[in-house]
Amino acid sequence: NAGVTQTPKFRVLKTGQSMTLLCAQDMNHEYMYWYRQDPGMGLRLIHYSVGEGTTAKGEVPDGYNVSRLKKQNFLLGLESAAPSQTSVYFCASSSDSPYQPQHFGDGTRLSIL
């Protein structure tokens, strides 16, 4: 049972470089989310999607872009990485019911030098 899969697991970038994080889910969920988690803080929502072809801003969207071209995939892009974006990134998905919990991928650890 794959669930939610994130790639890559680890990455080190230099300031100004760009990259894309991929999230894939096989549960046919409508909703998908990208979070970042920093020491001593709760997970913060970057962007989310309520269905294929739709995206919306979360709590901390600046410096990130997303796309949901296929229902099962949600991509997070960093156009010009900054040290402040060093974090652990989690993708999650859920059905469209507000009572259902979210299922998380195992995270991407990203360091920006």
Partner 1 sequence: RKEVEQDPGPFNVPEGATVAFNCTYSNSASQSFFWYRQDCRKEPKLLMSVYSSGNEDGRFTAQLNRASQYISLLIRDSKLSDSATYLCVVNTFSGGYNKLIFGAGTRLAVHP
Q: Which residues are at the interface with partner 1 (CB under 8 A)?
A: 31, 33, 35, 40-45, 48, 50, 56, 58, 88, 90, 92, 94, 96-107
Give the nearest distance from C-beta 90 to partner 1 in angstroms. 6
The span from the CA of 25 to the CA of 16, in Å, is 29
The residue (of 17 and 30) whose beta carbon lies closer to partner 1 is: 30
Give the nearest distance from C-beta 21 to partner 1 in angstroms. 14
The residue (of 64 and 89) whose beta carbon lies closer to partner 1 is: 89
Enumerate residues 6+ apart whose C-beta is below 8 A from 36. Answer: 43, 44, 46, 60, 85, 87, 88, 89, 90
The span from the CA of 25 to the CA of 14, in Å, is 29
Give the nearest distance from C-beta 43 to partner 1 in angstroms. 4
- Which helix (H) or strand (E) covers residue 7, if one does? strand 4-7
